[in-house]
C-alpha cells in the first residue's frame, strides 16, 4: 500500500465492516459529489433498501463466496417475487458497490465467485400498428391537461423516437433545436456523448403539444413520472380500449423498431435511423 492509499484509508469515514452501511455512505457520497444523477440515486437507494430488508447486519466478512449471492437471489425470488431479469439487475448494482469497496481497499471474499446470476431474454412484444394508431387517436380525444393525456403523450413519444425512459423523464425544452433534440444521453453520460435525435412529424407534434400545454416542470418537456406510475397509467388505458398487447415502457421501444421495419426500414449498417443508433 502506498502512502497516499494509506492516508486515504486512514482518513476515510466509510464503514469498513458493515456492507449495508458502506453502501449507504458511498451512495450518498457519489450523489453529493454529482457523480450520479438524482434518477440513479433513487434507483440505487431502492437496491439498498432491499439489502437492508434482507439482512441489515450484513458484514463484509460474511460475504462468503457463493452463499450470499445464492441466498439473496432466492430471497428476491421467493419473498419479493422478482423476475430473473429484475434479480439480475439487483445483483448488478450490488456488484458495482462491491467493486467500489475493493477500490477503497476493503478486503473480503468475492461473493459471486461461485455463483452466476442467470439472465433471460426480454419477453416484451411490440404492440400492433393498429393498436398504436388507436392509442394515437385516443390521445387526441383526451382533454387537454388530463393525466391520461400527459402519460400517454410521453409513452407515444417513446414509440416515435426509441428514447429511453431516463431520457424521456429528463428531456428538456432547451434540447430542441428546430426539429432535432440535441442532448447528453443519461446512459453513458460520463463519456460526454452528445446525441442528435431528428424528430419525425408525429414526435415533433407531441413535443409541440407538451410545450403548448406546459406539460413538464422546471424546463422539462414531459411529465416527470416514474416508470412504474407510467406503466400503471398506460395499462389502465390499455384496459379502457380493450387492447390485447401488454403496454409497458419497454413495449414502446420494441414498437418503434417494429414500426420502422414494417414501413420499409432496414437494420443494416447503412440503414439504421438516428433513434435506433441511439
Cβ atoms 163, 278 nearer than 8 A: yes
Rounded CA gap, 111 and 70, in Å? Answer: 9
Angstrom distance (rounded) from CA 88 to CA 206: 35
d(CA 166, CA 170): 6
Angle between the N-to-C axes of helices 129-141 and 249-262, in degrees from 0 to 180, rounded to the nearest 10:
120
pLDDT digits (tens, 9 = 90+) for 115-130: 887 766 555 567 778 8
Output the pTM of the full model: 0.58
pLDDT at 125: 64
Which cell numbers hold the place of 40?
A: 440513479
The domains of the chain are located at 3-103, 129-277
Alpha-carbon span 99 to 10, nearest angstrom: 19
% of the chain beyond a pLDDT of 70: 78
pLDDT, tens only, 5-29 = 443 444 456 767 889 999 999 999 9
**What CATH homologous superfamily does 129-277 map to?**
Intergrase catalytic core (1.10.443.10)
H or E stretch including 182? strand 180-184
- d(CA 135, CA 115) in angstroms, rounded, equals 44
Fold of 3-103: DNA polymerase; domain 1 (1.10.150)
Amino acid at each position: 500500500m502506498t502512502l497516499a492509499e494509506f492516508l486515504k484509508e486512514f482518513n476515510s469515514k466509510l464503514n469498513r465492516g458493515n456492507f449495508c452501511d458502506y453502501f449507504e455512505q458511498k451512495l450518498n457520497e457519489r450523489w453529493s459529489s454529482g457523480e450520479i444523477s438524482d434518477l440513479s440515486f433513487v434507483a440505487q437507494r431502492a437496491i439498498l433498501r432491499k439489502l437492508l430488508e434482507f439482512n441489515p447486519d450484513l458484514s463484509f466478512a460474511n460475504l462468503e463466496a457463493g452463499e450470499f449471492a445464492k441466498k439473496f437471489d432466492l430471497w428476491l425470488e421467493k419473498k419479493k417475487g422478482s423476475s430473473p431479469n429484475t434479480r439480475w439487475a439487483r445483483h448488478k448494482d450490488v456488484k458495482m458497490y462491491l467493486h467500489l469497496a475493493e477500490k477503497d481497499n476493503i478486503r473480503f471474499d468475492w461473493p459471486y465467485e461461485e455463483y452466476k446470476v442467470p439472465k433471460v431474454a426480454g419477453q416484451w412484444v411490440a404492440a400492433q400498428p393498429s393498436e398504436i394508431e388507436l392509442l394515437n387517436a385516443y390521445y387526441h380525444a383526451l382533454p387537454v391537461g388530463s393525466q391520461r393525456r400527459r402519460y400517454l403523450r410521453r409513452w407515444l413519444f417513446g414509440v416515435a423516437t426509441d428514447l429511453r425512459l431516463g431520457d424521456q423523464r429528463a428531456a428538456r425544452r432547451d434540447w430542441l433545436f428546430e426539429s432535432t433534440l440535441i442532448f447528453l444521453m443519461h446512459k453513458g453520460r460520463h463519456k460526454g456523448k452528445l446525441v442528435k435525435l431528428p424528430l419525425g412529424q408525429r414526435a415533433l407534434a407531441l413535443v409541440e403539444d407538451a410545450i403548448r400545454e406546459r406539460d413538464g416542470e422546471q424546463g422539462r418537456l414531459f411529465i416527470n413520472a416514474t416508470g412504474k406510475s407510467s406503466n400503471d397509467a398506460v395499462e389502465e388505458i390499455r384496459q379502457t380500449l380493450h387492447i390485447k398487447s401488454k403496454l409497458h415502457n419497454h413495449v414502446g421501444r420494441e414498437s418503434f423498431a417494429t414500426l420502422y421495419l414494417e414501413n420499409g426500414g432496414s437494420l443494416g449498417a447503412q440503414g439504421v435511423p438516428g433513434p435506433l443508433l441511439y
